[in-house]
Amino acid sequence: MPDLSTLALFAAATLALLIVPGPAVVYIVTRSVAQGRSAGLVSVLGIHLGSLVHVAAAALGISALLAASATAFTVVKYLGAAYLIWLGIRKLMNGRNGTGAAEPPVASRTRMFWEGFVVNVLNPKTAIFFLAFLPQFADPDAGPIAPQIVLLGMIWIVLGLASDGAFALLSSAMAGRLRRSARARRRLDVTSGVIYLGLGATAALTGDNAAARA
């Protein structure tokens, strides 16, 4: 297993990367603002169930296969981009149709959980990132690589739960006025819709070798 100094360096690098918002953070913040703290925290759990999939894939070498196959990467990349664009269009339609004039429709906890899961799993940049980032902190002389990748991935997830949970708590705490204002809710729908569309377009146009925070 990696020594303590390596694990500490990995934790510091992970925290630096986790504070950079990506599709997962946008999803968490949007849900937290729209439906409150518990909605944001459920979304965080869904996101990081998706992270578990990427950790397992990296440990099993599936991410390496994805990186090596241009066709596989392209298929997953466009699926992820399409899902983000669909979320964006739905938000824009909510804003345009004035659904914010009354209480916004409440998504079930189950739906939010699985939407968060899909947002993270269908982001191929996350898989490539895990493939590129985690092995840098694994030491072949310290034992089998797969258990080391799993350990590093679990550290990533624990820190991700903490940082994304903080995003959820902070955004929900600041969102009380937004949720009470029909105009503000409509603006939030439009703004978040535009952000999702931008993230989807970016995901679709990103080169095969790109790697970034989910």
Digit-coded pLDDT (tens) for 20-72: 667 778 788 888 887 888 888 999 999 999 999 988 888 887 666 666 776 76
Kindly state whether residue 56 falls inside one of the protein's structural domains: yes
- Report pTM: 0.66
Kindly state whether residue 213 falls inside one of the protein's structural domains: no
Q: Which residues contact 90 (CB under 8 A, 6 or more apart)?
A: 193
Q: Which of 214, 201, 166, 184 is nearest to 29 (CA)?
A: 166
Kindly state whether residue 170 falls inside one of the protein's structural domains: yes
Q: Compute the distance between CA of residue 59 and CA of residue 145 in angstroms, rounded to an integer.
A: 8
Q: Compute the distance between CA of residue 89 and CA of residue 96 in angstroms, rounded to an integer.
A: 10
The domain in which residue 188 lies consists of 4-16+23-205
Check: CB of residue 88 under 8 Å from CB of residue 17.
no
Kindly state whether residue 212 falls inside one of the protein's structural domains: no
Top-ranked range on mean pLDDT: pick from 95-99, 118-122, 151-155:
151-155
Q: Compute the distance between CA of residue 209 and CA of residue 196 in angstroms, rounded to an integer.
A: 22
Kindly state whether residue 210 falls inside one of the protein's structural domains: no
Q: Which residues contact 108 (CB under 8 A, 6 or more apart)?
A: none
Kindly state whether residue 68 falls inside one of the protein's structural domains: yes
Split into its structural domains, the chain has a count of: 1
Kindly state whether residue 176 falls inside one of the protein's structural domains: yes
